Amino acid sequence: MVKGCPEKSFLSTRRLLLICLSIFLAITFFGLWLQTDSASGFRKELKVHLREKLINTDTLSPNATIDAIYILGGPPESLRLKFKKAADLYHKGICKRILILSRPGKTEYSSLLRRNLTNDEWAISKLNELDIPKNSVEPISIEKGFFGTLREAKGISRLIKKRGYKSVTLISSPYHTHRIRISFEKFLKEHNVVFYVQGSGERASLRQLITEYIKLKIYEYMLVSSKQ
């Protein structure tokens, strides 16, 4: 019996490295070309195409009533826009319970308290500035995980089922909404829960759209389609 040939193994490894290098160079040159003036038309068309693939929101009836709003996590500027969207729904009377992702750590300094605010305190204060009372906002802690959106979907879906909510509105960046939808569907599709996906007023660069599209495909083919 002849054992594995070192020469063939070396050639296979070399071929794989060449393929990876070729892909890397192709992506690099494509990225550089996208920054040129000659690619301006293509950039616009690509943005439109990516938005069509990434944005997947629902229309809410003015007379709708929802058990809870959940605002997905993100950096401060992104959260501010999500908070505005949540406040709009709150003041329309669509929902009076707002859930936010509880995040460890501290943020900006408060001259009133003479210390740095925790992330949760900061979020509650920004919502309060939008005339949402503190007792209407609830920070929710969820288990840590590598895939943030899937982790939130799993944790919040578990909370929704535990509390017996029948309807929930999810708020995030517009270009993140398709990935949110398929993530929550994974955990709620077999339960009697209606959820609505809403986008904030946040805009995205072409690079952000491309990155989100790659993440969406990873979720579709590797994470969401797998068994729970």
Euclidean distance between CA atoms 170 and 56, whole angstroms: 12
Lowest model confidence (mean pLDDT) among 30-34, 41-45, 47-51, 165-169:
30-34
Two structure tokens written together for 125: 């204060």
- Angle of CA points 181, 228, 56, to nearest 5°: 5
Residues above pLDDT 90, as percent of the chain:
56
- Class of the CATH-defined domain 68-223: alpha beta
Tens of pLDDT along 196-226?
A: 999 998 999 988 998 999 999 989 988 887 5
How would you class 57 by CB atoms within 10 Å of its CB: exposed for 0-12, middle for 13-18, buried for 19 or more? middle
Euclidean distance between CA atoms 25 and 167, whole angstroms: 47
User: Does the global pTM surpass 0.95?
Assistant: no
Tens of pLDDT along 73-105?
A: 999 999 999 999 999 999 999 999 999 999 888
Q: How confident is the model at residue 108 (pLDDT cuts 50, 70, 90)?
A: confident
Neighbouring C-alpha atoms within 13 Å toward the C-beta of 213: 15
DSSP class of residue 214 equals H
Pairing between β-strand 194-199 and β-strand 167-172 as defined by DSSP bridges = parallel
Q: How confident is the model at residue 50 (pLDDT cuts 50, 70, 90)?
A: very high
Residue 2 has pLDDT above 60, yes or no: no
Contact 151, 144 (CB under 8 A): yes
Euclidean distance between CA atoms 173 and 184, whole angstroms: 15
